[in-house]
């Protein structure tokens, strides 16, 4: 189906004289056809998301014959600059804190000591600032682990991986950690953002195992412990940024993780 559109303003479009029908809808803007054609998929996606099961960590470890040293928690960017202060602090990310702290405590009680916290520690002239603006510069409070995690009595077990881009594995110390922890077979990925650093983290771990033909590695992403930020079209236009629809991008990237072999679950219990 083809339609010709005539721009009225940068934000508003209307169909030319021959209006096109899509089902019971009149095509009045460029998004209508995409939305209507995608409606079956989005209905399926919402059902898929609501149907994700919980993940019983202790039961899974027992079923798979895993010891505590075979399990790791990977955390992406649970730092002040995404939770409490700075240009990119998000209430959606801040809301993840109780569930993630609960997982850390649960894992520690099960004997797990592999906690890897990948955190933005940006150079003051980081190229990434062209896309996201200055944030989490090394040496500032924004780049510090959130106090809810830093104050845990076992925080000395944490391995902090400073990073200067979305990836926790490019030009960082993580590959050295990975070489020293080949016994880890179950990774739980938490943090922010679903479509950015969490996606990079989970996909790297899944692709690394696939490339090594390792069938025993499993990557788990709990929906209750990952999220992304929201930036409306109106706000983005006002500040000169790209908009970012969290309600759309969060489920789409969860789906894409699942499509590529990451186990997406509702919660960890």
Average pLDDT over residues 147-157: 98
Q: To the nearest 10°, the Cα dihedral for 166, 167, 170, 174? A: 130
Q: How far is CA 10 from CA 6, 18, 33, in A?
A: 11, 22, 19
CA gap 105, 87 in Å, rounded: 30
The number of beta carbons lying within 10 Å of the beta carbon of residue 107 is 22
Cβ-based neighbours of 212, under 8 Å, separated by 6 or more? none
CA gap 104, 115 in Å, rounded: 8
Complete domains list, the chain, with CATH: 5-47 (no CATH), 52-265 (3.40.50.850)
Mean pLDDT for the chain overall = 91
Name the 3-class secondary structure at 121.
Answer: coil
Asked if the model's pLDDT at residue 11 lies above 50, the reply is: no
Asked if the model's pLDDT at residue 13 lies above 50, the reply is: no
Query: What phi and psi, each to the nearest 5 degrees, are found at residue 231?
Result: -140, 115
pLDDT band for 29, please (50, 70, 90 cuts): confident
So what's the pLDDT on residue 158? 98
So what's the pLDDT on residue 30? 80
Asked if 81 and 135 touch (Cβ cutoff 8 Å), the reply is yes
So what's the pLDDT on residue 12? 38
So what's the pLDDT on residue 134? 94
Q: Select the more confidently predicted residue: 148 or 26.
A: 148
Q: What is the pLDDT of residues 213-234, one digit of tens each?
A: 999 999 999 999 999 999 999 9
Task: Give the containing element (helix H, strand E) for 152.
Answer: none
So what's the pLDDT on residue 26? 55
So what's the pLDDT on residue 27? 54
Asked if the model's pLDDT at residue 208 lies above 50, the reply is: yes
Q: What is the pLDDT of residues 92-140, one digit of tens each?
A: 999 999 999 999 999 999 999 999 999 999 999 999 999 999 999 999 9
Asked if 91 and 187 touch (Cβ cutoff 8 Å), the reply is no
Q: What is the pLDDT of residues 32-59, one digit of tens each?
A: 889 999 999 999 999 999 999 999 999 9
User: What does the buried/exposed string (b/e) look like for 21-46 if buried means 16 or more CB atoms within 10 Å of the residue's CB?
Assistant: eeeeeebeeeebbeeeeeeeeeeebe
User: Pairing relation of β-strands 5-7 and 226-227?
Assistant: unpaired
Q: How far is CA 164 from CA 4, 134, 144, in A?
A: 44, 12, 14
pLDDT band for 156, please (50, 70, 90 cuts): very high
Q: What angle do CA 74, 152, 104 make, to 5 degrees?
A: 35
Q: What is the pTM of this model?
A: 0.89
Q: How far is CA 268 from CA 153, 220, 233, 253, in A?
A: 21, 10, 34, 19
């Amino acid at each position: 189906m083809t339609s010709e559109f005539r721009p009225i303003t940068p934000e508003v479009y209307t169909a030319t004289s021959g209006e096109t029908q899509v089902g019971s809808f009149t095509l009045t803007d460029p998004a209508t056809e995409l939305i209507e054609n995608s409606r079956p998929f989005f209905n399926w996606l919402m059902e898929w998301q609501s149907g994700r099961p919980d993940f019983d960590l202790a039961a899974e470890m027992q079923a798979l014959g895993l010891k505590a040293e075979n399990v790791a928690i990977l955390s992406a960017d649970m730092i002040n600059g995404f939770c409490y202060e700075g240009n990119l602090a998000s209430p959606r990310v801040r809301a993840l804190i109780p569930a993630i702290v609960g997982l850390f405590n649960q894992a520690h009680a099960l004997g797990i000591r592999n906690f890897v916290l990948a955190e933005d520690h940006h150079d003051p002239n980081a190229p990434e600032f062209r896309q996201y603006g200055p944030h989490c510069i090394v040496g500032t409070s924004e780049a510090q682990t959130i106090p809810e995690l830093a104050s845990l009595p076992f925080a000395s077990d944490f391995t902090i991986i400073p990073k200067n881009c979305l990836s926790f594995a490019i030009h960082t110390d993580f590959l050295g950690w990975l070489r020293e922890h080949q016994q880890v077979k179950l990774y739980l990925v938490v943090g922010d953002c679903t479509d950015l650093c969490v996606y990079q983290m989970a996909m790297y771990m899944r692709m690394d195992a696939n490339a090594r033909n390792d069938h025993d590695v499993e990557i788990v992403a709990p929906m209750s412990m990952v999220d992304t930020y929201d930036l409306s079209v109106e706000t983005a236009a006002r500040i000169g940024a790209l908009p970012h629809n969290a309600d759309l991008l969060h489920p789409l990237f969860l789906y894409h993780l699942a499509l590529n072999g990451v186990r997406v679950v509702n919660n960890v219990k």
